[in-house]
Structure 1
Amino acid sequence: MCGEIALRACFVTDEFQSALSAHCKYAVQVKLFQHLRDAGDDGVGSEELAEKTGTDVLLLERIMRHLIAMKMITFFKGRFFGTALSHGLAADNYQQSIDFCYDVARPAFNVFPEHFKKAGYRPRITFTNGPLQAAHGTDLPFFDWLVATPPHLEEFDAFMSAYRAGKADWCSPGFYPVEEQLIQGFDPSINEVLLVDVGGGRGHDTLSFSAQYAHPGKLVLQDREAVITSIQDKEALPFGCEAHDFFTPQPIQAARAYLLHSILHDWDDEAGIRILENLKPALKAGYSRVLLNEIVLSEENPMIAATSMDMMMMAHMGVRERTEVEWKAIIAKAGLRFVRIYDYPGVAESVIEAELL
């Protein structure tokens, strides 16, 4: 009996989530969450909301009942009210995230069964031969496809912004011990650079670090030339910027620490090892630290945020999140020594510390 109940629950949950996904996409199209947010404590009636959204009243009421049942919105005395959740989803980055999940990710997940079946359940998923390519009829790798299909790149950037929202950064108090591990023992006579943010994008991590610590050394952000140029042109930054391809030797020698946030998870093991090997000659033994801010999959008690991201990586890029054993293997093959993993409650990513042997 328990097994039967669990099976029924599985079917019901899938049905509810499929409808909810479609309703959230509808909500984006008609700005439903924005209308509920703007109505505030007064709420809004069916006729008025139908007019604002351009939706037939009967259709609107059926959709709204499901959103009420899913605790997305509330209904009281004939009027609809938004919730903290629906108000949050009215923000631009969450609106674009819903578009990305529905238009890009969902089709890739939907082809999982047939894609795996065709491969005899032994699929060789690569950058150019995975569920995303099968779902969207392309031979392009994920990021190239995003660039070629606007506005999906902008939606993906918004999705990553929403994914990070409200989470502790790697350098937040209680996560990685910055004062003890980086600032104490920093020696500017070795190199004035305290931290190199390798492949750091638009500087989210570097800005967070700069805001939280009175750091005694320089901070340097590295990324592709186009990214560095775009942020240098916009504003004065409290750190240095330089173009660098992490598949080439690291130009900054003997910095105190080199941070790679969600870099290696974008690549297979061979490429990940190559990235670390290009970093290795720049490290000073007994001084420099390599900090990998990455998901470490638990085999006994995996977090849904971690496994969901693993499925995203399989669907879109043909790569994977890694377990502790797998991370240790990559670090060892690159000729580095694994030191320790630092975790933070409720955060999927960890900080993996490594150094020269």
Structure 2
Amino acid sequence: MDIEEIFQSLSVLVADPNLSEGKRVELLDRIKKLAAVLERPEDVLTKLAFSPSQFMTARVATELKLFDVIVRQGKVNSEELAETTGANKVLIERLLRVLTASGMVDEAGVSTYTPNKITKTLTSRTGEAMIRAFWDIKLKSMARIPEYLHHTGYKNPEDATNGPFQFAYGLKDQPFFDWLHEPKRAREHDTMHTYFEGDRGSRPDWVKWFPVEEKFFKNVKTQKDDVVMVDVAGGRGHDLDAFVRRFLDVQGRYVLQDLPMVLDDRALELHSKIEKIAMDFWKDQPVSGARIYYMKFIMHDWNDERCLQILTNVTAAMTKGYSFLVVEDFIIPDQGCPLLAALFDMQMMNALSAMERTEGQWVKLLKAAGLRVEGCYPPPGDGTGIIVAELK
């Protein structure tokens, strides 16, 4: 596609008054193609090589609360930032050069700064947690993946107890989540679970684009004692809360399940309809006969063998002809994979020796668990898709 074709397609998309999520992603893709035409290969490599410095700068700024000060003040100079944070004025200006050049902060004059929408996002709980989670926890093992793969003869990492994370941290047979949930790692635990709240980014919640009512409630009217939905290992409950608030007129119970230490977290104010039940998905599924068993970003944490252990407990609790398993995760296309999904896959390899799956891999896995896949539904953009399954 040449420059003229790209500009023509961009003008059509920009003129759309009702820009959908799919169109928004398509527009971004065209812009990237335009940048690829204009950028020289050597410049692309230079930016790639220096990109860790950009991330490092954002992490230092997070620690100094620079983003918070800039948002709070509205307009502030380097001298005022130095006085507020206790950091050296020259250092502040060096950091802000990177932040303004990368679009995280705006310049309002010489050594004077104002916030933009990215600055404000970086002051949010989930925004700050994302920076901390990836830099403080995941970067160490990511940096050693080349060494790890060389050491293993470039085998695909599949052992959650002996992967890149264990190699980097010197752990012996300890999976990532066991490490994370140690009592001495309270800060890391909070950081990761806060990040999990915002890992959807700005992409629409699945209940906003998937035909939930048509699939699950069209021919079934639940009663107040029926379990409508079980969020299996649902963390702090943000996804279940969004579901409940979207379908307030649906009668029934809503159950959030996770380990006790996660459920005891009071970070979120959940809807009163949600009840919490502690569980360990390696052992059993304590709630039987629910209409929906929902699992977001669970299966991508484990290899097929471990997934089948989890699914065995879920299927044992499902009612044939009534219950559905709903998996929200990336559905990797066989060709033309979006960058976000591909990068998520690298993070699964990094921390968990796991992977994102293609549609064929999802169908194979769920079939092995005694389930029939009703459908794999790609998202309206580059986010997570929905896989719906029921007992054979």
2:214 aligns with: 180
> How far did 1:240 drift?
3.5
Structure-1 separation of matches of 2:102 and 2:138: 22
- Report the counterpart of residue 169 of structure 1 in structure 2: 205
Residue 55 to residue 254, structure 1, CA distance change in 2 (3 Å): closer
Report if aligned partners of 1:286, 1:356 keep a CA contact under 8 Å in 2: yes
User: Structure 1 residue 330: deviation in Å?
Assistant: 0.3
Structure 2 SS opposite 1:164: coil
Give the Cα–Cα distance (whole angstroms) in 2 for the partners of residues 58 and 195 of structure 1.
55
Give the equivalent residue in structure 2 for 1:107.
140
Q: 1:319 maps to which residue? A: 354
Name the counterpart of 2:86: 54
Instruction: Give the deviation of 1:276 after TM superposition.
Output: 1.9
Q: Deviations 1:14-55 (Å, cap 9, x if unpaired)? A: 233111111111101211111211221xx2223222222333
> 89, 99, 102: which one pairs with 1:67?
99
Structure 1 residues 109 and 7: CA distance shift in structure 2, 3 A:
farther
Identity among equivalent positions (%) equals 31
Alpha-carbon distance in 2 for matches of 1:9, 1:71: 18
Deviates more, 1:121-130 or 1:257-266: 121-130
Aligned to 2:312: 277
1:133 aligned partner: 166
* Alpha-carbon displacement from aligned partner over 1:130-175 (angstroms, at most 9, x marks no partner): 2222222223321122233342111111221232343322222x22
Sort the Cα spacing of 1:235 and 1:116 in 2 relative to 1 into closer, same or farther, 3 A.
Answer: closer
Specify the alignment match of 1:330 in structure 2. 365
- 1:260 is aligned to 295
1:337–1:165 distance in 2 versus 1, CA, 3 Å: same
Q: For the structure 1 residues 20 and 196, does the alpha-carbon distance in structure 2 shift closer, same or farther, using more than 3 Å as the test?
A: same
Whole-angstrom distance in 2 between the partners of 1:28 and 1:230: 23
What is the rounded CA distance, in whole Å, between the counterparts of 1:188 and 1:324 in structure 2? 31
**Alignment of 1:193 onto 2:263:** no
Aligned Cα root-mean-square deviation (Å):
2.5
Counterpart residue identity of residue 45, structure 1: N
In structure 2, the partner of 1:209 is 243
Partner of 2:153: 120
Give 5+ residue unaligned stretches, structure 2.
Answer: 1-35
Distance 2:287 2:81 in 1: 58
TM-score normalised by length of structure 1 = 0.88
Tell me by how many angstroms 1:262 deviates: 1.7
Alpha-carbon shift at residue 72 of structure 1 (Å): 1.6
* Number of residue-to-residue matches in the alignment: 348
With the length of structure 2 as denominator, give the TM-score of the two structures. 0.81
Separation in structure 2 between the aligned mates of residue 71 and residue 188 of structure 1, nearest angstrom: 49
Letter paired with 1:194: V
| Equivalent residue letter for 1:92 | R
In the alignment, the residues of structure 1 paired with residue 284 and residue 99 of structure 2 have an alpha-carbon distance, to the nearest angstrom, of 52
CA distance in 1, matches of 2:253, 2:64: 48
Distance in structure 1 (CA, Å) of the matches to 2:114 and 2:222: 57
Q: CA deviation at 1:7?
A: 4.2
Letter in 1 for 2:107: F
Whether 1:30 aligns to 2:70 is: no
Within the alignment, does 1:92 sit opposite 2:92 as a pair?
Answer: no
241-250 vs 115-124, which moves further: 241-250
Give distance in 2, aligned partners of 1:278 and 1:33: 45
